[in-house]
């Protein structure tokens, strides 16, 4: 997916914003791994959001419920974490970004800036400064930590989304991508509001608020946190596909939350996303996983003679609404009514 009005991207596997993209070494590692684009760690105006990084913690949860530390995590694990934002001053951060942008540009990999919303006016000021350095800006208004910490905000109402995006759009003269939460009554309405307010592309969806008792009288991480896992994939794809239907194929969508392998990336693409941000798979397997996913996606398309642009949204084009589905004879529920069939 090419960023509208911005640089071309070599492939649809992007690296999302996280602690893995918070340092020059981390950004270079993701670029060298062959990512289509890399989103740097988010910043905002809040000192409290920066201090929150000092209490960051991470727990990986296996499909069977085993809680594992990062060193022994496996690809299929879910991630429950508590995090904060990048801690350098804005001037220091922009200087670091400028170096990463130049490094990525020489290797065909755009490096994007990211702002996690706190105060919209402050986000607009940061966005204006960031736009002088990066080829595109991601505005994250879907951070689940916004439900736990006042230093960041999670917007779930269309009017608030529209107001925040308009404020940032007024100062950002490069492509603006808006990342939305998955926990809202109508994510499609949020996407429509963001698009109407000037977003060039929509990211779907942020991770969910999470809580997990440790069964020893406390809680994993000792607090609430943010949750993403392979089990979130169908939930993420629901909103990607519905947004594709509502906004049409001309609005670029970036999928996130649930992709761990090439098949997951392909499912995002078939649901209407033009690119997919990967984070947790890099925590478990390192940046080398990017090349694996790129190869898997391109190989699948090549062996079937499929064009990437044509494949994007292909499942949505074939999906039908409930009223359009013909009755099944005999009714399917008979096959699932118990061993006796009754």
Q: Are 198 and 253 in contact (CB under 8 A)?
A: no
pLDDT score at 277: 98
Domain count, the chain: 1
Is the residue at 3 inside a domain?
no
Is the residue at 341 inside a domain?
no
Percent of the chain with pLDDT over 90: 87
Is the residue at 193 inside a domain?
yes
pLDDT score at 155: 92
The parent domain of residue 149 ranges over: 13-336
Q: Give the residue, 157 or 151, on which the prediction is more confident.
A: 157
Is the residue at 1 inside a domain?
no
- The residue count for the chain: 342
CA distance 159 to 164: 9
Is the residue at 7 inside a domain?
no
Is the residue at 237 inside a domain?
yes
* Residue pointed to by tokens 């439900």: 147
**pTM of the full structure:** 0.95
pLDDT one-digit tens code per residue, 73-120 = 999 999 999 999 999 999 999 999 999 999 999 999 999 999 999 999
Is the residue at 105 inside a domain?
yes
pLDDT one-digit tens code per residue, 162-204 = 999 999 999 999 999 999 999 999 999 999 999 999 999 999 9
pLDDT bucket at 334, cuts 50 / 70 / 90: confident
CA distance 319 to 269: 14
Is the residue at 225 inside a domain?
yes
Q: Are 111 and 28 in contact (CB under 8 A)?
A: no
Looking at residue 219, which CATH number applies to its domain?
Answer: 3.20.20.70
Q: How large is the average pLDDT for residues 19-34? A: 97
């Amino acid at each position: 997916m090419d960023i509208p009005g911005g640089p071309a991207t070599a492939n649809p596997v992007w690296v999302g914003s996280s602690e893995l993209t918070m340092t020059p070494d981390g950004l270079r590692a993701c670029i060298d791994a062959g990512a289509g684009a890399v989103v740097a760690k988010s910043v905002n105006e809040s000192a409290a959001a920066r201090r929150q990084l000092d209490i960051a913690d991470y727990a990986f949860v296996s499909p069977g419920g085993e809680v594992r530390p990062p060193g022994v995590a496996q690809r299929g694990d879910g991630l429950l974490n508590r995090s904060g934002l990048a801690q350098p001053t804005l001037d220091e951060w922009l200087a670091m970004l400028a170096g990463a942008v130049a490094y990525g540009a020489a290797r065909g990999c755009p490096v994007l800036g990211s702002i996690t919303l706190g105060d919209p006016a402050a986000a607009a000021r940061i966005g204006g400064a960031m736009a002088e350095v990066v080829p595109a800006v991601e505005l994250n208004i879907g951070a689940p930590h916004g439900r736990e910490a006042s230093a960041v905000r999670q917007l779930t109402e269309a009017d608030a989304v529209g107001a925040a995006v308009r404020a940032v759009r007024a100062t950002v003269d490069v492509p603006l991508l808006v990342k939305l939460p998955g926990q809202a009554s109508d994510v499609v309405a949020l996407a429509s509001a963001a698009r109407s307010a000037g977003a060039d592309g929509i990211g779907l969806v942020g991770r969910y608020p999470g809580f997990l008792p440790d069964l020893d009288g406390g809680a994993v991480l000792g607090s609430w946190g943010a949750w993403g896992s392979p089990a979130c994939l169908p939930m993420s794809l629901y909103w990607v596909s519905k947004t594709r239907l509502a906004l049409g194929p001309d609005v670029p969508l970036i999928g996130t939350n649930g992709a761990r392998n090439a098949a997951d990336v392909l499912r995002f693409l078939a649901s209407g996303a033009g690119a997919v941000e990967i984070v947790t798979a890099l925590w478990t397997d390192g940046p080398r996983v990017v090349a694996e996913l790129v190869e898997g996606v391109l190989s699948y398309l090549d062996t079937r003679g499929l064009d990437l642009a044509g494949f994007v949204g292909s499942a949505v084009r074939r999906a039908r609404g409930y009223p359009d589905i013909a009755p099944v004879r005999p009714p399917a529920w008979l096959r699932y009514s118990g061993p006796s069939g009754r």
